[in-house]
Amino acid sequence: MGFATASDALIAAAFWTGSAALALAALLIAGALFLRLRLAARREHEQRFSARWLPIFAACTEAIPDRLPALAPQDGALFLSLWVRALESVQGATRGRLVELAARTGADRLAVTLLASGDERKELIALAALGYLRLRSAEPLAAALIDLPFPLVSLAAGQMLLRLDASRHLPQVIERAAEREDWPVARIAAMLRECDRDAVAEALAQALAARLERASQAESEIVRLLQLARVANSALLRPAVCRLLERPAPAPVVAAALAALWHPEDAEHARRALGHPEWFVRVAAVRALDRVGGPEDRERLVALLSDSSWWVRYRTAQTLARLPGITRQALEKMLSESSDRFAADILAQVLSERDAR
């Protein structure tokens, strides 16, 4: 060919790149087959391991068996993950026996070793186990892990510290919960639900109060703390929440504070927010009245049925329908007397929804 030089180089490049890709493909497929074989072997080992240990865990409901199999260090993570699940499924004295079993098998020391393994998966398992083992010697390690920039490990460390000694570590965990946006609020809430409600409320109240003292309030931190306040619903939180609602605050903070209201004596805060310029604050105020309001709020709510926001009208109609003393006949009367089409439409919808339940 007349264009031999360029073409030859190209052909060679194409051929060798393609051949290398085919060789790589063969390696990858072989890798997949190897992984499948390894997986099968691992599953078989896990099944044998479970078959050996699960009956022992079950026996702990009565007593710890005298003779226990030896626990190999390489099976530490597997043992602990089974042990955590077993422990979470039982209560009372059985838990104590399972903790003793872990100590007798040396699993507690293996957990501490795993904590420094550098393998995130093993660290998570170790942290979960150490929380139940209440091993004081692991406390400094967990305290160091809570400030790592990795959310999974730091969260699990927080969980472990709470399980170890909630009253001592709650303030520290709550502070991190406010500051760390990489800690999902829902997950923190799940952690806090395991703790004493009043202790959680006290720690939250302190964290909120500290932020209210500061000249520059961290809006997002206050909102996160208020979201967590719903876990506690305690009288200890009322002063901080009410203080927030008594002073000018950004709309997201007001809405979050309204969502944390639960005591009927605080209903006045919700009533005042019914005229807030932001629709989502008005929705939060109406929902707060759903919890803390009473029959005396009827006229206020009826007026809001003509609000410009559909959501305000909808939540208002739902709240009205749930007010003590409001019967179906009363709602039908409101509907027939309503001169506002929007109010009538939303009342008709909520009446039908009420029938569906």
Partner 1 sequence: MILEQAIVVAQWVFFAYLVGLNTGFLLLNVSAFFAVRRYLTDRVLEDLLPIVSGMEPPVSVIVPAYNEENTIATSVRSMLQLEYPEFEIVVVNDGSRDGTLEALRREFALIPFPEAYRRRLPVRPVRGIYRSLRHANLRVIDKENGGKADALNAGINAARYPLVCAVDADSILERRSLRRVVAPFLHDPRMIATGGTVRVANGCVVRGGFLEEVALPRRLLPLFQVVEYLRAFLFGRAGWSPLNAVLIVSGAFGVFRREAVVAAGGYRTDTVGEDMELVVRLHRLHRLAGRPYRIAFVPEPICWTEAPESLRVLRAQRARWQRGLAESLTMNLALALHPSGGAPGWLAIPFAVLFEWLGPLVEVCGYGLLVAGFAVGLISVEAFAGFMILAVGLGVALSASALLLEEMSFHVYKRPRELAVLAIFAVLENLGYRQLLTLWRLEGLAHWAFGVRVRWGEMRRTASWQKAF
Give residue for tokens 């998570």: 124
- Dihedral of the CA atoms 155, 156, 160, 163 (nearest 10)? 70
Backbone angles phi, psi at 340, to 5 degrees: -95, 125
In order, the DSSP letters of 238-301 are HHHHHHHHHS---HHHHHHHHHT---GGGHHHHHHGGG-SSHHHHHHHHHHHHHH--GGGHHHH
Minimum Å gap between C-beta 242 and partner 1 is 23
Q: According to CB under 8 A, which one of 53, 57, 76, 81 is a site residue for partner 1?
A: 81
**275 forms part of the interface with partner 1 (CB under 8 A):** no
In order, the DSSP letters of 46-105 are HHHHHHHHHHHHHHTTT---SS-----GGGHHHHHHHHHHHHHT--THHHHHHHHHHHHH
- Near partner 1 in 114-173, by CB under 8 A: 120-121, 124-125, 128, 152, 155-156, 159
Q: How many CA atoms lie within 13 Å of 298's alpha carbon, on the beta-carbon side? A: 12
Residues 6+ apart with CB under 8 A from 306: 313, 340, 342, 343
Minimum Å gap between C-beta 33 and partner 1 is 7
- Near partner 1 in 96-115, by CB under 8 A: none
Q: According to CB under 8 A, which one of 53, 282, 314, 323 is a site residue for partner 1?
A: 314
Instruction: Answer positive or negative: Cα dihedral of 309, 312, 317, 320.
Output: negative
- Near partner 1 in 10-69, by CB under 8 A: 10-15, 17-22, 24-26, 28-29, 31-33, 35-36, 39-40
Minimum Å gap between C-beta 349 and partner 1 is 5
Distances from the Cα of 327 to the Cαs of 135, 168, 323, 343, in angstroms?
A: 58, 50, 9, 18
Q: According to CB under 8 A, which one of 51, 70, 186, 215 is a site residue for partner 1?
A: 186
Q: According to CB under 8 A, which one of 136, 214, 247, 357 is a site residue for partner 1?
A: 357
Minimum CB distance to partner 1 smaller for 33 or for 68:
33
Minimum CB distance to partner 1 smaller for 247 or for 357:
357
- CA 51 to chain CA centroid, nearest Å: 33
**Number of other residues whose CB lies within 10 A of the CB of residue 298:** 17
Minimum CB distance to partner 1 smaller for 64 or for 185:
185
Q: According to CB under 8 A, which one of 104, 168, 193, 272 is a site residue for partner 1?
A: 193
> What is the C-alpha separation between 142 and 144, in angstroms, rounded?
5
Minimum Å gap between C-beta 205 and partner 1 is 20
Minimum Å gap between C-beta 246 and partner 1 is 27
- Near partner 1 in 206-235, by CB under 8 A: 227, 230-231
The CA R_g of the chain, rounded to the nearest whole Å, is: 30
Minimum Å gap between C-beta 7 and partner 1 is 6
Minimum Å gap between C-beta 257 and partner 1 is 17
Please give the residue ranges that form the binding site for partner 1 (CB under 8 A): 1-3, 6-7, 10-15, 17-22, 24-26, 28-29, 31-33, 35-36, 39-40, 81, 84, 120-121, 124-125, 128, 152, 155-156, 159, 181, 184-187, 189-191, 193, 227, 230-231, 310, 313-314, 342, 345-346, 348-349, 351-353, 356-357
